[in-house]
Amino acid sequence: MTLAAVSDSGPLIHLAEIDSLELLSAFDTLLVPETVYAEIEAGGVPSGLADVSYELVDVDGEASAKEELDAGESAAIAVAAERDIVLLTDDLAARRFASDGGIEVHGSIGVIALAHGRGRLDADEAAARMRALQRETSLFVTEAVIERGIELLNEER
Amino acid sequence: MAAEISDRVREIAEENDLPESEVFERALERGLETLWEDVVLKRYLDGGIDREEAIEQVGRAKVERAEREQQIVEEDTDWGLNA
């Protein structure tokens, strides 16, 4: 199945923090709104992003603006809705907003699981990266919750 | 890393006009609190304690956050494995 996604800055930053941006190539098409790229650029573009195939897309800022979300999240949601593709975000508010609007939403954990599901990572490596996501990045996830995700990976064996 | 920790301890001590030993003591207390919360949430999510007991020990906000996170991790993992 062909899989396309648009990402806000969260998964790009969190996956970069564990040197795992290459997992985004599990998607057949990856879009990054210009606004999101600008947010990442402000903090320094992670070197691994150059090795990822993605397309920058322009979004009408005023049309996509949502009061409770930042500009990058709003732009990514607008692209996901317009093109009917998966939204990648690690922000709980953005996830809820998009889900309520009928958009399929996943985050960095989903990217790791997808890479495993598509044969790019074995289960042990996927588990190691999930734990790294919890311990080594700015993404806040309770440790016990990550272990539940790893259990689910192992149940598939 | 060790040098970075020493620098931070010194800066925190200076900023708060505290001895460095007090900074270490507070860091240990805060670290232990976080680790304890992880234990409680793990027990709750594994079914070892009930929701009310978990709320009593770590507060409603942390329990609700963990529940939401668990739902997301389960959704994402299931999707990733089957997409």
Nearest chain B CA: its distance from A4 CA (Å):
11
Cα–Cα dist A94/A34, whole Å: 18
Q: ipTM value, please give it.
A: 0.88
pLDDT of residue A68: 80
Phi-psi region of B17 (alpha: psi -120 to 50; beta: other; left: phi over 0): left
Domain range enclosing B8: 2-82
- The answer to whether A52 touches A24, Cβ cutoff 8 Å, is yes
Å between A144 CA and nearest CA of chain B: 5
Give yes or no for residue A144 having a pLDDT over 90: no
Positions of chain B with pLDDT lower than 50, given as ranges:
none
Cβ–Cβ below 8 Å for B83 and A147: no
| Of A27, A82, A92, the residue nearest A57 (C-alpha) | A82
Q: Do B81 and A153 touch (CB under 8 A)?
A: yes
* pLDDT value, residue B15: 95
Q: Cβ of A117 under 8 Å from any chain B Cβ?
A: yes
pLDDT of A157? 58
Amino acid (one-letter) located at B21: S
pLDDT at A152 over 70: yes
pLDDT per residue as tens digits for the range B5-26: 889 999 999 999 999 999 999 9
In this predicted model, what pLDDT tens digit does every residue of A35-76 receive, in sequence order? 999 999 988 888 888 889 999 999 876 556 677 889 999 999
Structural element, H or E, at residue A54: none
Distance CA A129, CA A125 (A): 6
Q: Where are the beta strands (DSSP E) in A48-155?
A: 55-57, 86-88, 105-106
Q: Which residues of B touch A109 (CB under 8 A)?
A: 72-73, 76-77, 80
- Please provide the average confidence, as pLDDT, over all residues in chain B: 93
- Residues linked to residue A106 through DSSP beta bridges, in sequence order: A88
∠ CA(A42), CA(A32), CA(A51), 5° rounding? 80
User: pLDDT at position A62, please?
Assistant: 59
Structural domains of chain A, ranges and CATH numbers in brackets: 4-108 (3.40.50.1010)
Tell me the pLDDT of chain A averaged across its residues.
Answer: 91
CB contact under 8 A, B69 and A142: yes
Pairs of residues, one from chain A and one from chain B, whose beta carbons lie less than 8 Å apart: 82
Q: How many domains does chain B fold into? A: 1
Model pLDDT for residues A77-123, shown as the tens digit of each residue: 999 999 999 999 999 999 999 999 999 999 999 999 999 999 999 99
Query: Which H/E stretch holds residue A103?
Result: none
What CA–CA distance (Å, rounded) separates A153 from B56? 31
Q: How many helices (H) and strands (E) does chain B have?
A: 4, 0
